[in-house]
Amino acid sequence: MAERHMPPPLRFLLAARRSELHGLEALASTCGLVVRVSALVHALQKERGYSNLTLCSQQERLLPVLANLSDEASAVEMDARRFLDGLAADTTHASGKARMLNCIAFALFRLDELPGLRRQVQDRSMPAEDADARYTQLIGSLLAVVFEAADSALDPGVTRILVALLNFMQGKELSGQERACGVMGFTAGFFTDAQKARMLGLAANQERSFDIYAQYADGEALQCWERIQQHGQPVQRMREMAQRTASAQRVDSALAELWFDLCTTRMDAMRDVESLLAQALAQQCERRIAETRQELDDRRLLLSRYTDHASGRAPSMVFSVQSRLLDAPPPDGVGSEMERSILDMMREQALRMQRADDALGSMRGALEEKKRIDRAKLLLISQYGLTEQAAHERLQRAAMDGGLSLSDVARQVIGQLAGN
């Protein structure tokens, strides 16, 4: 029997399942975007690293390597742009994603500025600090897209992986910023007090991001990260060396390349974790879509049979929702097997949605925390005219001085400045 001939309650039961399927299909498209953004961020991190090393060391031999990395990043960018063109044309999957689409627009604006930045780096016509800040700003706009994707996901399993990936990407980005800061300090032969504080803050925030990642990751991706951590002693020793330097106690500037190579090897290994998370993301989306499609087909068949069975008779109690509660047993204590199946189906669907909401609520705590920190930084930027980096460093210093978490300091800042 065609769906249009089913009683309205059954049609809406199927419609609810179809809506969930459409949501999962839209989520799969969003996850495809996240995978491409992750690849682009990694390519830009490599390009930023060599740009920084080139500008600090002034070595001609690095220019061809940098040019190759720029070409590789451009190819990854073109793949992401092609995907975005399809996303922009698909209005059916755009509902409820205004914030993410706005972030995409901002990221594309930053990407459009990239060719000019590359020319300035190749010509060595800008300081390393400025180039690093420009690349970091671009990468930050791409990470914001991943954040909005995680925040808009409505499937707990997918959200869990997205939260893990977002925090891992954030930790990896902080590692890239630490690499750049280290190259500047080691090239000079010593670290200023401000550079030392920044190195400490970047290391502490990496640890925090990776700790959150470990809470949400599992399986091969978590095991891979644990193996990487076991080989982190050389980077840690050079961190400690940086803290012992001073203008009167310098180190060999050649250590800048050693630091760069150690950090790059570590970040390349981190890319393996990102790839495993991207794979898990795709598999989770495929699995949930397949499950939902099968459940929709099973329910359509069962409800069609029920409609045929009930045709020509008085409506079953399942439709007489005003005469008794949906979950109340029939007067005879038994009811037909068919009716029981439909009632069980409705209960199961309602309970599953509630469980999904509960799981989403628990997993979005990390996202809410990031929102709080970002809002505090915006308030500091607006109130004191700081750069994004300076605002973040102010939060970091306050957290370290007060023995508080970054989130607690952000809450205090919001409380003090939000009403001003």
pLDDT tens for each residue of 9-27: 667 777 777 787 787 788 7
Alpha-carbon distance 255 to 270, whole Å?
23
Amino acid identity for residue 100 in this structure: M
Q: Residue 246 phi/psi, 5° resolution? A: -160, 170
All CATH 1.10.10.10 domain ranges in the chain, comma separated? 366-414
Q: Residue 249 phi/psi, 5° resolution? A: -135, 75
Count the Cβ atoms, other than its own, within 10 Å of residue 251: 18
Query: DSSP letter string over 255-319?
Result: HHHHHHHHHHHHHHHHHHHHHHHHHHHHHHHHHHHHHHHHHHHHHHHHHHHHHHHHTTSPPPTTT
Give the pLDDT score at 243: 96
End-to-end CA distance of the chain: 64
The highest-confidence range among 135-149, 248-262, 274-288, by mean pLDDT, is: 248-262
CA dihedral 13, 19, 24, 27 (to 10 degrees): -150
Give the pLDDT score at 29: 86
Task: Band the pLDDT of 179: cuts 50, 70, 90.
Answer: very high
CATH number for the 366-414 domain, one of 3.40.50.1000, 1.10.10.10, 3.20.20.60, 3.40.50.970?
A: 1.10.10.10
Question: Which pTM was predicted?
Answer: 0.77
Nearest Cα neighbor of 182 from 225, 140, 234, 139 is 234
Give the pLDDT score at 21: 77
Task: Band the pLDDT of 49: cuts 50, 70, 90.
Answer: very high
Nearest Cα neighbor of 273 from 378, 396, 170, 121 is 170
State percent of the chain over pLDDT 70.
Answer: 79
Give the Å distances, CA to CA, from 145 to 42, 58, 107, 121, 193: 15, 34, 8, 26, 34
* Res 382 pLDDT > 90: no
Task: Band the pLDDT of 52: cuts 50, 70, 90.
Answer: very high
Q: What distance separates the 2 farthest-apart alpha carbons in the chain?
A: 97
Give the pLDDT score at 334: 37
Helix axes 255-310, 337-363, angle to 10 degrees: 160
- Please indicate whether residue 148 or residue 343 has the higher confidence score (pLDDT): 148
